[in-house]
Amino acid sequence: MTGVTDVIDVTGVIDVIFVLHTAWIPLLVPFLVSPAGKRLASNLPPRQAMWLLTATAAGLAAASTCALALLIVPGATHLHVVAALGDLLTPLSSGSPDSVIATAVTAAALLVWCTARLVRGVRRRWTQLRHAGRLAAEADGELVVLPDEHPDAYALPGTPGRIVVTTGMLRALSAPEREVLLAHERAHLRERHHLFTAVVDLAGLCHPALRTLREPLAYALERSADEAAAGAVGSRRLTARAIGRAALATRSSAAAVRTRPASALSATAGPVPRRVAALLGHGAEDRMARHLARRAAALVLVACLALSAGASLQAADNLHDGIEVAQGETR
């Protein structure tokens, strides 16, 4: 029995040390993605950027949540009920029990806090989508024209979605520019951009550093819709002019923005001057420099995602080995 206990004391401690160290990696990695995310949105093709940013946010949120759960286990094994349920001969420990228990309590508090925020966020987002769906269902066709002098236009998600535009916006644009605006909002609905926004917003509730991906994602979504509109009307210059004029008209009326539903996506959102410059090809860097920046930003995000996922899996595997040893099994 003494030999088994010696194995537990040595090997179990080593496993838990690995758990406590590797589990911190997914909690720290999200702080590295903000610069890469901004660079990626500016250099990668919009559709690729929005997919990569969303996948990164979701993956890092999942890994950080799993890391918090893994940090709870070593401290929880000091409770007699947990040790009995797991058939543990000795608690998992990597030093002072007080520090292990303190880490577990802190991780548990953070996990409960994040879970509560995530549940509220999902409910809020679901309520917004249901409200948007009810508004969309009340319309007879794809286009809804509101008798409002304040210029505004936005895509309202639903089944199916609707394009909402005010009479003030229609008067502010020429007929070809209106076609651009409708094509832009139609792209938002067709590609379900509101779902990408929802995923990144919810990921930000799991880890505060992931909120920084919201801005580059919004830019990528608008750029994707810009490119779709340019392809639909066959003119990048016309698209740039329409987006610019619509944004200027909306900026002159703050009331328009205040009346939009929370889930709406609009052609006038985000850094319009950057979007116009991208459509016209102004301010472009050297082709090789842009290519290198694109590859570097994408590589950083993929590396962060792989590192975070790998650390979570390694921590889980080490924890599993430590539990087996604490149960008296030899490896």
Give the rounded percent of residues in the chain with a pLDDT score beyond 90. 33
Q: What is the pTM of this model?
A: 0.81
Distance in angstroms (rounded) separating the CA atoms of residues 166 and 137: 18
Alpha-carbon separation of residue 184 from 20, 128, 179, 217, 288 (angstroms):
48, 22, 9, 16, 30
Whether the Cβ atoms of residue 227 and residue 44 lie closer than 8 Å to each other? no
Give residue 8's pLDDT: 42
Distance CA 1, CA 242 (A): 80
Q: Average pLDDT for residues 247-268, to the nearest whole number?
A: 73
Is the model's pLDDT at 4 over the cut of 60? no
pLDDT, tens digit (0-9, with 9 covering 90-100), for 301-320: 888 888 888 888 877 777 66
Q: 260 φ, ψ to 5°?
A: -70, 145
Measured in residues, the chain has a length of 331
pLDDT, tens digit, 9 for 90 and up, residues 187-212: 999 999 999 999 999 999 999 999 99
Q: Is 14 exposed, middle or buried (0-12, 13-18, 19+ CB in 10 A)?
A: middle
- The string of pLDDT tens digits covering residues 100-121 is 778 888 889 999 999 999 999 9
For the sheet containing 143-146, what is the strand order? 143-146, 162-166, 153-156
**Closest residue by Cα to residue 213 from 151, 328, 297:** 297
